[in-house]
Amino acid sequence: MSEDKGMFGVQGTGDTSGYGGLERIQVTPGSSERPYGSYFDEVADDLERAYPEFSDAIEKVVVDRGELTLHVKREKLVDVARVLRDKLLFEMCMGVNGVHYPNETGRELHAIYPLLSITNNRRVRIEVACPDSDPHIPSLVEIWAGNNWHERETFDMFGIIFDGHPALTRILMPDDWQGHPQRKDYALNGINVEYKGASTPAPDNRRAYK
């Protein structure tokens, strides 16, 4: 088990901007042990049978708050994803979410893929980590075409580069924008945003917390 510090979830205040300096320590779950419960054991067994390199590809399996997450090595991501789609019938990927853990040295950037099996009415998640110094993860657009825009948004907001994406460009911010706005090391102050002739002042000019 490891601990992460974050402000969201702090009680007794409406400050969600970060200027209040509030912190909440949350525990990050480690590997889960069998039996996982629900249909999770069956999914793990089916994946092991369908993919002989399971033990080399999966870093850990975590069951937390009713969700099964497979932590996959990034070099094995495409292989595992293809098996999950073709053999275990997870036909739909609901997108990809980026997460930034600046204190997790060598694994600062994470990409999380929620998967849905329409055939079997089951859900699992894939999670992949990469270092900030080498923010590359293979694209899954060739497996789930709907990930195209989701990968572009995660690239735009977190700076994760999805190798093999057909057109990896920014989708929300201007092409010449510096930085990635949803990273925890991105400055919240000092940037005035212009949009269609109007100007929105930077956060530190809008509200102050004393």
Asked if residues 153 and 172 have their Cβ atoms less than 8 Å apart, the reply is: yes
- Residues 105-157: pLDDT tens digits? 999 999 999 999 999 999 999 999 999 999 999 999 999 999 999 999 999 99
Exposure string for 33-55, b = 16+ CB within 10 A, e = fewer: eeebeebbeebbebbeeebeebe
- Residues 30-79: pLDDT tens digits? 888 889 999 999 999 999 999 999 989 999 999 998 999 999 999 999 99
Give all domains of the chain, ordered by start, each with its CATH number. 28-174 (3.30.460.80)
Q: Can you give the pTM of this predicted structure?
A: 0.81
